[in-house]
Amino acid sequence: MTREPPLTASTLDTELAAAAGRRWWNRWTIVLGLALLLVGGFVAGIEVQKAYGETPAATGPGGGFRGQGGNPGGGIPTAFPGGGFPGGPGGGAQGGRSAEATTGTVKLIDGTTVYVETESGEVVTVRTDGDTSVSVPGKLKDLKAGDKVSVEGGTDAEGSVTASSVTKTE
């Protein structure tokens, strides 16, 4: 019969370490887990942005902001410049003019011509006639300098707008 040596602290530590086995994770497991978590968060962020995010405003014809589709908030994007069928709702008028919304502050009113300063500081000449729809308390003559307006109509080669409607905004 052989006798076993007495257990000491160092022998006990050695035997416990051998019996415990290897751990199931290491440094690379943690790195891969964090990478998977980051990629999953990125993909989830994209999906949330698609569902709830803002639509960027377009700066020119064919975009979703400039009054296409008869709606100041935008219309259905199409292959036609101006956002719709030529001559139809939301589309450019025949003859190279496109219907767009111009918003800004009234600088001056001279008879049937209104000068509107846009947010960028550009002054746009707006021509009105008997066919222009006016949504102002009163009539076009009741507009005054400093009023905020939204004008829809075609723009000619010189940048003047022939208004189809003028709406006073707040």
Q: Could you give the residue range(s) of every CATH 2.40.50.140 domain in the chain?
A: 97-169
- At 144-159, the pLDDT tens digits run 888 888 888 888 888 8
Distance, in Å, from the CA atom of 130 to the CA atom of 127, rounded to the nearest integer, reads: 11
State percent of the chain over pLDDT 70. Answer: 66
Contacts of 147 (CB under 8 A, 6+ apart): 105, 106, 168
Q: Hey, what are 84's tokens?
A: 């719709």
Query: Which pLDDT score is estimated for 138?
Result: 66
Terminal C-alpha separation, the chain: 103
- At 34-84, the pLDDT tens digits run 999 999 999 999 999 988 876 555 444 444 444 444 444 444 444 444 444
> pTM of whole model > 0.95?
no
The CATH class given to the 97-169 domain equals mainly beta
Distance, in Å, from the CA atom of 125 to the CA atom of 129, rounded to the nearest integer, reads: 13
Contact 105, 93 (CB under 8 A): no
